[in-house]
A and B are shown apart, each in its own frame.
Chain A
Amino acid sequence: MISAGARERKRDGYFLRAEGITKVYADGTVAVRDVTLELRPGEIVGLLGENGAGKTTLTKILSGLLPPTRGRVVSPRGPVRFGSPREALDFGIGMVHQHFALVGTFTAVENVALSHERPLAPLALAATRAGLERLMAESGLKVPLDVPVEKLAVGEQQRVEILKVLSREVELLILDEPTSVLTPLEVDELFAFLRRLRGEGKSIVLITHKLREVGAITDRVVVLRKGALVGDVRTADVTKEELAQLMVGRAVGTRAARAVELSTEEIPAHAAHGAAAARGPGVLHVEGLTVPGDTKPVAVHDLSFDVYAGEIFGIAGVEGNGQSELVEALTGLRPALKGTATIHGRNILGLDPRQIYRLGVAHIPEDRWRLGLVLPFTLAENAILGVHRWPQFRGPFSVLRWGKIHAHVRSLIERFEIQATGPGAPARSLSGGNQQKLIVGRELAKDPAIVIASQPTRGLDVGAAQYIRDILVEMRDRGRAILLVSADLDEVLALSDRVAIMYEGRFMGVARPEELSRERIGMLMGGVRG
Chain B
Amino acid sequence: MREGRLLRGVHRTHTGVHPALESVLAAILGLLVGAVIMLLWGYDPWQAYWALLKGAFGGFGYEIPTSVARGVPLILTALTFSICLRAGMFNIGAEGQMYVGAAAAVTVAYLRLPYPWHLLVGVLLAAAAGAIWSLGPALLKLTRGVSEVISTIMFNWISRFLVFYLVAYVLVDPRQAQRTVRIPFSARFPILVPGTDLSAAVYMALGFALLVYFLLWHTAVGYEVRAAGLNPTAARYGGISIRRTVLLSFALGGVAAGLAGAATTMGLPPTYAIISGLPDLMNLGFDGMAVAMVGRNHPIGILFAALFFGGLNAGGRVMQFYGENPVPLEMVRVVMGTIVLAMAIPELVRIFPALVRAGRALVRRAGPAQGEEA
Q: Which residues of A line the B interface, CB within 8 A?
A: 81, 83, 331-333, 352-355, 357, 363, 365, 370-377, 381, 384-386, 388-389, 393-394, 397-400, 402, 422, 424
- CB–CB A375/B231 < 8 A: yes
- CB–CB A374/B227 < 8 A: yes
B239 within 8 A of A: yes
Contact of B227 among A333, A353, A377 (CB under 8 A): A377
Least Cβ–Cβ distance between A447 and chain B, in angstroms: 17
Contact of A333 among B1, B224, B237 (CB under 8 A): B237
Q: Which residues of A contact B240 (CB under 8 A)?
A: 354
Beyond the given pairs A374-B230, A388-B220, A397-B219, 19 more chain A to chain B contacts, judged by CB atoms under 8 angstroms and listed by A's residue number, are A81-B368, A333-B237, A352-B241, A353-B236, A353-B239, A354-B238, A354-B240, A373-B234, A374-B231, A375-B230, A375-B231, A377-B227, A377-B230, A381-B223, A384-B223, A385-B238, A386-B239, A400-B219, A422-B1
Least Cβ–Cβ distance between B87 and chain A, in angstroms: 13
- CB–CB A400/B237 < 8 A: no
Prevailing SS type, chain A contact patch: loop
CA distance A354 to B220 in the complex (A): 14
CA distance A355 to B218 in the complex (A): 23
Q: Considering the complex of A and B, which 9 residue pairs feature the smallest CB-CB distances, nearest first?
A: A354-B239, A385-B238, A386-B238, A353-B239, A398-B219, A374-B231, A371-B237, A398-B220, A394-B220
Q: Which residues of B contact A377 (CB under 8 A)?
A: 226-227, 230
Q: Which residues of A contact B219 (CB under 8 A)?
A: 397-400
Contact of B223 among A365, A397, A400 (CB under 8 A): A400
User: Which of B11, B226, B239, B241 has most A Cβ within 10 Å?
Assistant: B239
Contact of A400 among B218, B361, B368 (CB under 8 A): B218
Which residue of the partner chain A has the closest CB to B235?
A374
Q: Which residues of A contact B230 (CB under 8 A)?
A: 374-377
Of residues 143 through 201 on chain B, the ones whose CB sits less than 8 Å from some CB of chain A are: none
Which residue of the partner chain B has the closest CB to A370?
B233
- CB–CB A388/B361 < 8 A: no
B357 within 8 A of A: no
Least Cβ–Cβ distance between B247 and chain A, in angstroms: 16
Least Cβ–Cβ distance between B231 and chain A, in angstroms: 5
Which residue of the partner chain B has the closest CB to A390?
B220
Least Cβ–Cβ distance between A443 and chain B, in angstroms: 11
CA distance A120 to B226 in the complex (A): 43
Q: Which residues of B line the A interface, CB within 8 A?
A: 1, 11, 218-221, 223-224, 226-227, 230-231, 233-241, 361, 364-365, 368
Q: Which residues of A contact B233 (CB under 8 A)?
A: 370-371
Q: Which residues of B contact A365 (CB under 8 A)?
A: 237
- CB–CB B239/A357 < 8 A: yes
- CB–CB B241/A385 < 8 A: no
- CB–CB B237/A372 < 8 A: yes
Least Cβ–Cβ distance between A492 and chain B, in angstroms: 23
Which residue of the partner chain A has the closest CB to B219?
A398
Given contacts A375-B231, A376-B11, A424-B1, contact A388 B223 (CB under 8 A): yes
7 inter-chain pairs at a CB distance below 8 angstroms, sorted by A residue, are A353-B239, A372-B234, A373-B231, A374-B231, A398-B221, A399-B219, A424-B1
Contact of B218 among A374, A393, A399 (CB under 8 A): A399
Least Cβ–Cβ distance between B132 and chain A, in angstroms: 23
Which residue of the partner chain B has the closest CB to A354?
B239
Q: Which residues of B contact A384 (CB under 8 A)?
A: 223
Which residue of the partner chain A has the closest CB to B12?
A426
CA distance A131 to B238 in the complex (A): 51
Contact of A371 among B1, B227, B234, B364 (CB under 8 A): B234
Least Cβ–Cβ distance between A92 and chain B, in angstroms: 19
Least Cβ–Cβ distance between A500 and chain B, in angstroms: 24
Q: Which residues of B contact A399 (CB under 8 A)?
A: 218-220
- CB–CB A402/B218 < 8 A: yes
- CB–CB B237/A386 < 8 A: yes
Q: Which residues of A contact B231 (CB under 8 A)?
A: 370, 373-375
Least Cβ–Cβ distance between B281 and chain A, in angstroms: 34
CA distance A370 to B233 in the complex (A): 6
User: Which of A83, A363, A388 has most B Cβ within 10 Å?
Assistant: A388
CA distance A372 to B236 in the complex (A): 10
CA distance A370 to B237 in the complex (A): 10
Least Cβ–Cβ distance between A382 and chain B, in angstroms: 9
Which residue of the partner chain A has the closest CB to B239?
A354
Q: Which residues of A contact B237 (CB under 8 A)?
A: 331, 333, 353, 363, 365, 371-372, 385-386
Q: Which residues of B contact A332 (CB under 8 A)?
A: 239
- CB–CB A388/B11 < 8 A: no
CA distance A363 to B237 in the complex (A): 9
Which residue of the partner chain B has the closest CB to A378?
B8
- CB–CB A83/B239 < 8 A: no
Which residue of the partner chain A has the closest CB to B372?
A79
User: Which of A352, A385, A400 has most B Cβ within 10 Å?
Assistant: A385
Q: Which residues of B contact A389 (CB under 8 A)?
A: 220
Least Cβ–Cβ distance between A376 and chain B, in angstroms: 5
